[in-house]
Each structure stands twice: as structure tokens, then as C-alpha cells.
Amino acid sequence: MKRNDVGVSMRNHSGLLAALCMVVSIAPGAIAQTPVGPPTGGGPYRARTLVELVKLDPTIKLDIRYATVKNFVGRAVYPDARAFLQRPAAEALLSVHRRLKEQGYGLVVYDAYRPWSITKLFWDITPPDKRVFVADPSTGSVHDRGCAVDVGLFDLRTGHEVQMPSAYDEKTERSFVTYTGGTAEQRARRDLLRKAMEHDRYFFVYPEEWWHYDFKDLRDYAIQDTPFSAIASPSRSEKP
């Protein structure tokens, strides 16, 4: 869901703040002074290469929560249920997806690239005492870089998502990758997902959210605020 600024992420990944509260309300004074545009500076950065996952491999499944009312905002904040990543991250993710097929599973994507303006929206509607749970728009989110992805597993035989020790975006200790409760089958699937995602060391898990993975080269990409509609689809010859 959220991800704090990359400096914090790389300095102490296991100490990142917990996830967004599931229910927030707009309270008086909640909207404070925030940037009017994405943060700049740093770099040099690689050129933006955002690509749409299903255009590269239509067998990957999408369950984009921010395109629905099933999120903490209570309304859709994405215009369409689409998922994008920087091309190197996308190609690495699809390699994981293909590897999992050999074991009877596929990846389901809950969230990927997020325009910076949505990160700012989350900040603006969150009461000040709850802002420890959202990414500060002055530094941006790893999702804004197109280098973070929230994923789960689905069964290739049924097409249904499989159960993990917690639901996606559940804000309890059951979401931790070290949680020892739940069933043996649920823990095995969670651990299978992590093993597959971290196999080639392209992604690393956020310890308090079994579904969230950051791409290893996240520092190489700038914060983006490109709307989904402005991201060009790759041509057939560009597909991996």
C-alpha cells in the first residue's frame, strides 16, 4: 500500500513504518501545507521506462484495489485497474511469474506504479496523528518511482487467489513475513511467494507486509506523477 521515502527504505528497510490505517477520516486541520509537485533533485536518474504488465504478459492477474472502493480512501483513486512498473522491474517480475507457473501458481498484482499526486492525496486526507502510516509527498513513495509492487498468488487450476496467513493490506501481525500462526498451507504459500520473488535478488520484501516488494534499483528512478493515460504501451517488438 504505502511506502515511505527511499532514503528511509534503504537505510533501515526492516524498520519502515507500518501500513496505512484501513479507516481514516478527514478531520479539521488534516490538510496542511504540502508540495505542489513531485520532489526533484538527486540523481542522475535513468530515463522513465514504465510499461504495463498485462501488455507484456496477459496471463498475470490484476486485482488493483485503488481502482475500487475496497481501500482506505473508500473510493476509487485510479481511473482504471492497470499496473505499471519500470521495464527492468517489470521484466524481473514476469520472470518470477513464469517460474511460479512450473509450481502451479501465478502472480496477482494488487498495486504497482502510483502517480505522486495519489501519494499526496493520501497524505492530505489523513489526519496529522495518522500520518506516520502514509508516505510523505515531500520525499515520495517507492511506488511513485515505479519500483514497488504488491503481489499475491493465484492457483492456475482454479484461477482463484490463494489464502495467506492474512488478507492483503491487513494491519495486524499476521501480515508479518515471520508470523508463525495460520495454517501450514498458508505459511507455505507465503514463503513460496517470497522465495520466488527474492530468487534472483531483484526484489526484497518489506518484513511487515508479505505482499510488498521493492525493486533493487529503486534509487535509479525519479519520483513520477505521470497519469496512467499518458503511459504509452510497448510495441509487440518491444515485449520481452
pLDDT of the residue at 176: 92
pLDDT of the residue at 13: 44
Which phi and psi angles does 121 have, rounded to 5°? -60, -45
- What sections of 116-183 are H helices per DSSP? 116-125
pLDDT of the residue at 109: 98
Which residues are catalytically annotated?
209
Which phi and psi angles does 214 have, rounded to 5°? -105, 140
pLDDT of the residue at 17: 36
d(CA 110, CA 192): 18
CA distances from 77 to 11, 74, 122, 227 (A): 30, 9, 10, 11
Domains of the chain by range and CATH? Answer: 6-15+47-231 (3.30.1380.10)
User: Could you give the count of Cα atoms lying within 13 Å of 51 in the half-sphere of its Cβ?
Assistant: 23
pLDDT of the residue at 9: 44
Give DSSP secondary structure letters for 131-146. GGGS--TTT--TGGGT
pLDDT of the residue at 2: 53
Under-70 pLDDT residues of the chain: 1-35, 132-133, 233-240
pLDDT of the residue at 236: 44
pLDDT of the residue at 1: 54
